[in-house]
Structure 1
Amino acid sequence: MTKTNEKIHVLTDESLGGIKREYVEVDREAKVGEKIIAIEESLPYFCEGDYGEVIAVWCGDVSAKFESNYDNKSWFISHERYNVLEPTNIVHIDGERYEMVDRKAEVCEKVIHMNNGKSGRRVREVTNVGVGTIDVIEYERPDGDITCGFSHGCYRVLVPLSKENKYQEFKNKKRGYKEVKNFIHNELGITKEDIQEMIRIAVSNEVKKAAESGEFQSFISSKIDSLIEEGFGDGGRLLYGFKERVSQTVSNEVGKRIANNLNISVELKSQ
């Protein structure tokens, strides 16, 4: 069974044109071409924490070239002394972390070409999305040709992890809302009509309290006086729409004050 720990390593990935990529340590047997990390030292061949690349494999033990080796020779290392470094989809570009996602790109998104290294694995911005291809800001490839677009499936979209985290927070909040909603309906047996009736009663009580305190009367009286003075401003004639304006003004203010004063506290308790 494969066992993975939480330790992350950020290393240059030549297959991505030298871009920094996150790797995770995995306790399993390595394969040719994979990166490994020494977890025990064997001086003078390699030290604990040295990174290496596997050249050959014999029954779980490997021959690897380590970065610390001064003459670039490969050395034997037993399975108990290394962990495999598996690449993740997380890369580091200009100090930011991105996830490489296999989907159709959108205009203004960043992409990285994945087609056999011919593009030099350049990161480019998408300028147009077609049926079978995308257009990117053109650049010169290592072979001297000019590239201005990629086919779908030959690139990965680079999604900033900050945006991904915000999206995940949104999903978590949405999931929490659904859980509360299901609890209210299924566990407590409260229907939508029950909630509407609770709100109607609460609003009615708030309006009654405000009316008994004289708060609305004092406001309405002063506001109506102002509107009447304004309404008769045209040579003593009542301006068109005066009634509707009075009604709307009072309605807006009443609603605003109810919203400011009304507190509906719902406390859910499980047995």
Structure 2
Amino acid sequence: MKKIEVEQMSETKANTNTNIHVLADETLGGIKREYVEIDRKAELGEKIVIVEKNDFEGYENGDVFTVDRDFHSKMDFVESNVAASYGNDSGAIYHDEYHVLDPTDIVHIDDGRYEMVEREGEVGEKIIIVRPDGVIGDDYDTGRVGTVKSRHSAGDVSVETIGLVFGDEYRVLVPLGKHKKTFENKNSAYKEVKNYIHNELSISRQDVQDMISIAVSNEVQKMSKSGKLDRIAGEKIESLIEEGFENGGRLLHGFKERVSQTVSNEVGKRIANVLNINVELKEEGN
């Protein structure tokens, strides 16, 4: 048992802040699942990984065990039968030697990564059985995967190779690459519109800037005539003057610049709202 778990640990990988371990999950019929390391006391039945073993122990850093006995606050250790060795008959592992492996909703199936999501399955989506109700005649176990071929009421679905599955028995498997493809499609559409504007309509970047400049100028004139511009500037300047004279009756250094920048920002925001101008950063890498 210990040898198998160590082999599974060879699939351990790390991101920027969290160590992620890919291990077979017996509660899902042995399907591989991602676990994250958490520095806390383990509880009965949880998986743990050795991160800083004490001297003279029979196990090594990186070994994975299941907690067979935990003692809460009464003892400074948990016990695992597989960790037992000469001089450590009970398989005691001290709390400062391990991290708990907390299961995530991400599983590995057929070289793909999926997130298990609790919602109604759509036709064509993959689902995984997480809690079969044990009704006589059901021919499926935990961890069974299939594709939805039709939907029923209350989230129940008919699944290829499985049959009728109740809504509380399964989770939908959402491919994790789907989100990335959405961004790719979004960027592709952006480029198509951009090319259409430049090539088909013969509108240059300067033309677009001129259009915005004219629109902004018109809005400023409207705000000025209606008195909105005066109210905006007046409110902000009064507030800054009160703040400026708090320092012993003397204006703070850079007061003039702060007034100018603040009023400019406020006017700009209101013009942008009126024109419904929405500027977003492009996705990283574009």
State whether TM-score is above 0.5. Answer: yes
Deviation of the 1:114 alpha carbon: 1.4
Aligned partner of 1:129 among 127, 151, 160: 151
CA distance in 2, matches of 1:100, 1:123: 12
TM-score normalised per structure 2: 0.54
> Counterpart of 1:37?
49
Q: TM-score with structure 1 length normalisation?
A: 0.56
In the alignment, is residue 56 of structure 1 matched against residue 72 of structure 2? no
Q: In 2, are the aligned partners of 1:50 and 1:68 still within 8 Å (CA)?
A: no
Change (3 A) 1:78 1:47: same
- For 2:202, the equivalent position in structure 1 comes to 261
Give the corresponding residue for 1:94.
110
CA 1:65–1:163 in structure 2 vs 1: closer, same or farther (change >3 Å)?
Answer: farther
Runs (5+) with no aligned partner, structure 1: 140-147, 178-254
RMSD: 3.4
C-alpha change, 1:68 and 1:48, in structure 2 (3 Å) is farther
Deviation at 1:5, TM superposition (A): 4.7
Which amino acid in the other structure matches residue 20 of structure 1?
K
Tell me the residue number matched to 1:10: 22
Which residue of 145, 154, 169 maps to 2:169?
Answer: 154
Query: How far is the alpha carbon of 1:61 from its aligned partner?
Result: 1.8
Conserved? CA contact 2:127–2:147, under 8 Å: yes
The code of the aligned residue for 1:47 comes to E
* Cα 1:257/1:24, change in 2 over 3 Å: closer
Unaligned stretches of 5+ residues in structure 2: 1-15, 135-139, 191-195, 213-263, 266-286
1:5·1:26 contact (CA, 8 Å) conserved in 2? no
Aligned-pair identity in percent equals 40
Distance in 1 of aligned mates of 2:198 and 2:93:
76
Could you tell me which amino acid in structure 1 is paired with residue 105 of structure 2? N
State the match for 1:26 in structure 2: 38
Give the letter aligned to residue 9 of structure 1: H
Q: CA 1:48–1:32 in structure 2 vs 1: closer, same or farther (change >3 Å)?
A: same
Equivalent residue letter for 2:100: V
Tell me the amino acid that sits aligned with residue 130 of structure 1: H
Aligned-partner Cα distance in 2 for 1:44–1:136: 49
Q: Is the 8 Å Cα contact of residues 84 and 90 (structure 2) preserved in structure 1? A: no
- Distance in 1, matches of 2:52 and 2:45, equals 21
**1:1-271 → structure 2 map (5 Å cutoff):** 5-42=17-54, 43-58=56-71, 59=73, 61-66=77-82, 75-116=91-132, 119-120=140-141, 121-132=143-154, 133-139=156-162, 148-167=163-182, 169=183, 259-265=200-206
Confirm or deny: 8 A CA contact 2:131 2:168 kept in the other structure: no
Corresponding residue number in structure 2 for 1:234? none
Q: Which has the larger radius of gyration?
A: 1
Asked if the contact 1:51–1:67 (Cα under 8 Å) also holds between the matched residues in 2, the reply is: no
Change (3 A) 1:116 1:38: farther
Greater strand percent: which structure?
A: 1
Counterpart of 1:49 in structure 2: which amino acid?
G
Give the CA deviation at 1:66: 4.1
What secondary structure does 2:204 align onto?
Answer: coil
Q: In 2 relative to 1, CA 257–123 (structure 1 residues): closer, same or farther, beyond 3 Å?
A: closer
